[in-house]
Amino acid sequence: SSAVTSSSKIVLNLESLGSLPADEAGPLARYASTIQAQRHDYNGKVLSIRAEDLKSLAIIYDMSPDELTSRLIEWGVISAGMDSVVGFGGP
Ligand code: C2E
Ligand code: C2E
Ligand code: C2E
């Protein structure tokens, strides 16, 4: 349903996220922590989030969803071909 992420799941790399400076990545890190708590999912190296959540995060960061996606790739929090981040991509 989302134009931005219609074909790729958003999979956050939690190790990369944890190593970023808090002043930049803080809101995203808090958002991811909240989702982990809601799911009781604390053991993963990655966290799949909803496309809808990217829109909410874009508002928080005062960017378009596309701009935020580019920023997340720069930060190494998601990969450019997002399916490859967990190695189960494929056609
Ligand atoms: P909810 O939205 O009422 O979802 C209830 C349950 O339905 C979830 O329990 C999960 O088992 C399943 N579910 C709902 N949507 C999806 C989906 O897109 N994919 C998958 N795989 N399962 C889905 P769970 O995981 O224990 O989450 C409990 C509550 O925590 C959710 O209730 C929701 O309010 C919140 N939550 C969890 N993860 C996210 C997230 O990534 N984004 C947002 N916005 N809320 C989340
Ligand atoms: P896995 O846990 O062995 O899951 C393999 C595949 O089974 C997942 O591929 C997904 O297609 C399906 N699957 C597993 N659990 C669920 C579930 O609760 N709901 C639904 N709808 N499908 C499920 P996927 O999504 O490509 O993930 C590949 C691997 O990446 C997973 O292997 C897991 O190790 C990791 N992963 C991805 N997202 C998360 C996450 O949000 N939390 C954690 N802890 N690990 C994740
Ligand atoms: P989406 O909403 O963009 O969610 C993308 C992925 O984030 C899901 O892939 C799942 O790995 C994770 N996720 C999202 N919400 C939750 C949640 O509440 N709990 C957990 N444990 N994981 C969550 P998945 O499962 O392969 O689902 C792909 C798409 O299918 C979702 O994209 C959504 O559009 C739809 N979907 C799956 N389950 C549900 C559901 O229970 N309710 C609704 N409304 N849509 C669902």
- pLDDT single digits (tens) 24-70: 899 999 999 999 999 999 989 999 999 999 999 999 999 999 999 99
| Contact of 61 with 77, CB cutoff 8 Å | no
Tell whether ligand 1 has an atom less than 6 A from the beta carbon of residue 30. no
Top-level class of domain 14-80: mainly alpha
When comparing pLDDT for 81 and 34, which is higher? 34
Protein residue whose Cα sits closest to atom 45 of ligand 3:
50
Q: CA distances (Å), 70 to each of 34, 37, 81, in order?
A: 23, 26, 12
Report the Cα–Cα distance between both ends of the chain, in Å, rounded.
20
Q: What is the pLDDT of residue 79?
A: 87
| Contact of 46 with 12, CB cutoff 8 Å | yes
pLDDT band at 15 (very low <50, low <70, confident <90, very high): very high
Question: How many angstroms separate the CA atoms of 13 and 10, rounded?
Answer: 10
Could you tell me the residue ranges of all domains in the chain?
A: 14-80
